[in-house]
Chain A
Amino acid sequence: MKRLVIVTAFLVVVFLAWQFWSADGSNPETNTASRGPQHSEASDPQPKTQNSKPPAPPEPSEIADALNTPSGDIRADLRIVNELITTFRTNFPHDGNPVGDNAKITATLAGKNRLQLALIAPNHPAINRAGELCDRWGTPFFFHAESGTRMEIRSAGPDQKLFTTDDVIFAP
């Protein structure tokens, strides 16, 4: 009798676990970021069942949702930008931080990378027409690459001039 109870309980647990994973159906590797297509057509062994529909656009990332919002402040913004970079690095451990100036780093974070990993939506309101990620006063953040894994992020502050006394700096 005792053995029967144990076996039944085990089967129930297995069933519940199967139900849970079937309902989720997401790839845990995608985390909060969104990816573009990960398989080329040539390498995809499955037949296409929705050829008539255009590919779904990448879902907007949640990491940058609160960036530059009225409820936050510049320090929270800097933490968000740092999280974008850290998350990128986590997904590209052999590459390290994105490199280049603001526009290139922003493009990389917005999906211009080999996995098409979009950590921030390309049309996020914090990105200006030049493709630069800006602070809440509209000035592009200044990225100072100290190493491949350490990026100092600077906001020009309310005066909108870099390297003045009201600059706000995030140093990881």
Chain B
Amino acid sequence: MIPQTPDLSRRAFVRQACCAAVGTTGLLSALGQLRMIGAVAGDSLPRNTAAAVPADYKALVCLFLQGGIDSTSLLIPSDPSSFSAYSTARADLAVSPAGLLPISPRSYSDGRNYSLHPSAPHLQSLFAAQKLAILANVGTLVRPTTLAQYQAGTNLPPQLFSHSDQALQWQSSIPDQPFDTGWGGRLADLVDAQNSNNQISMSITLNGANSFQRGSAVTQYAINSSGVSSLSNTGSLSATPGVSTARSNGIRSLMRSTQENALAAAFGGITKASIDDGDLLGTVLRTAPALTTTFPGTGTAARLSMVAKLISISQALGLKRQIFFVQLGGWDMHGSQNSAYGPLLAELSGAMNAFYNATVELGVANQVTTFTASDFGRTYVPNAGGTDHGWGNHQLIMGGTVRGGDIYGQMPSLAVGGNDDTGRGRWLPSTSVDEYNATLATWFGVSAGNLSTVLPNIDRFAKPNLGFL
């Protein structure tokens, strides 16, 4: 039976010509990718991935500690006088002095000695090696804010102490506006042109869709700690050879076919692109050499291990700038904090250490900066075996170019009822999230003139560069 061909109107001709043009572009792109895959997989190329990462490569890794980490249990005042006051304030949450891990900041001094929680030995080592810095008492701010302004309700971020709102504000860095894009997404939009190829997004998430990486142009690409998540039974990599190939080809053919309905056409195009991207990334990932660095058997370590693999194939993907998102949840400890905090901190400490070692192995330690973020800090005054939602919090920055071994910003007074306590030890932030992010963005290559594109509120604050990078 001969299919009937409808009369070709001018409108239909233009539409189909456009589709053909787009399809040709995709074909050329695919051919380019195939050449790239061949180049990576070719035996003639050295398999040393350290040489495969370009010299001007840079990656930011956001490690989001979902739920609000109690960082005053991470960084503990440990000289006798300060520890005594800390023990009194924290009551049954006070860490035993016997196991504390002392640190010696290079230049920061406020008259106290500090130690890390006993479950963070790797963080202590990284700090001593000057590969880890601590940023004290950073939080969401609309403008620089005094305690009197807080009490008057002036210029406050909306919904302080609410999980989703504060996490969103940390990730958008625009607390006083409805959410539109994340600061990582805006950063990607700005620098994506530096990548020679963008079939695989420079924004990769190991924990699903997130606000941080939401941009206007660059779309985040989600994978898991095992690699690419193919659509069920469509990936040529994941199913039985032969059957899977036929099925995969059939689906591709279906998605490629001309659709009269615009929605169906868009769905088909996106689905096909997703399958193609998955196959491409999966194929290139198989060429990544196994790392000798040992990662702990935790979920966070597995995700950071995958980030290291992705960095090792960055050149094959044509990426000189990458932004990764990894999340570790479970920090919302209103009760049972004494039993839950240590193991979770140990997971964080071990995973961060292994990831840093992997970047050293790959030769990119100076080109990768990992930073933590979290919903908020927690109350210094405990609540029934746990802590409640707070505000200012300490964060960690790790990498070869980090001016580590020091504390940046200003530690809170740790005085309940003091002049930086908004109630029950909810510290008024002395450093804004914008200043923190601006320092990271500057290291990533954003010029001073472009900072406000990524961080629209940065001009309200005094220090667009906090000096830890």
Listed in ascending order, the chain A residues whose CB lies under 8 Å from chain B are: 95-97, 99-101, 104, 142, 144-148, 150, 156, 161-163
Contact = CB atoms under 8 A, between A and B. Distances in A.
Contacts of B161: 99-100, 145
Contacts of A145: 159, 161-163, 389
A148 B334 contact: no
A101 B159 contact: no
Contact of A163 (B160, B163, B384, B423): B384
Contact of A161 (B163, B384, B388): B384
A147 B335 contact: no
B336 interface: yes
Contact of B162 (A97, A161, A162): A97
A101 B423 contact: yes
Nearest to B381: A101
B164 A148 contact: yes
Given A161-B384, A163-B334, A148 B423 contact: no
A156 B383 CA distance: 12
Contacts of A161: 384
A101 B422 CA distance: 11
Interface in B264-299: none
A64 B162 CA distance: 24
Given A101-B424, A162-B383, A148 B336 contact: no
Contact of A146 (B164, B386, B424): B164
Nearest to B168: A147
A47 B163 CA distance: 49
B385 interface: yes
Nearest to B336: A163
Interface secondary structure of B, over-half rule? loop
Given A101-B423, A104-B423, A162-B335, A148 B383 contact: no
Contacts of A101: 388, 423-424
Contacts of B227: none
Contacts, number: 52
A148 B162 contact: yes
B162 A99 contact: yes
Contact of B385 (A97, A142, A144, A163): A163
A95 B165 CA distance: 12
Interface string B125-156: 00000000000000000000000000000000
B196 to A, nearest CB: 41
27 contacts: A96-B158, A96-B159, A96-B165, A97-B159, A97-B162, A99-B161, A100-B160, A100-B161, A101-B424, A104-B423, A142-B334, A145-B159, A145-B161, A145-B162, A145-B389, A146-B164, A147-B159, A147-B163, A147-B164, A148-B159, A148-B165, A156-B384, A161-B384, A162-B383, A163-B335, A163-B384, A163-B386
Given A100-B423, A104-B423, A162-B335, A146 B162 contact: yes
Contacts of B384: 156, 161-163
B149 to A, nearest CB: 16
B177 to A, nearest CB: 13
A144 B336 CA distance: 16
Nearest to B385: A163
Contacts of A162: 334-335, 383-384
10 closest Cβ contacts across the A-B interface? Answer: A163-B335, A147-B164, A162-B384, A145-B162, A148-B159, A148-B165, A146-B163, A148-B162, A163-B384, A145-B161
A101 B381 CA distance: 12
Contacts of A97: 159, 162
B421 to A, nearest CB: 13
A60 to B, nearest CB: 26
A156 B336 CA distance: 15
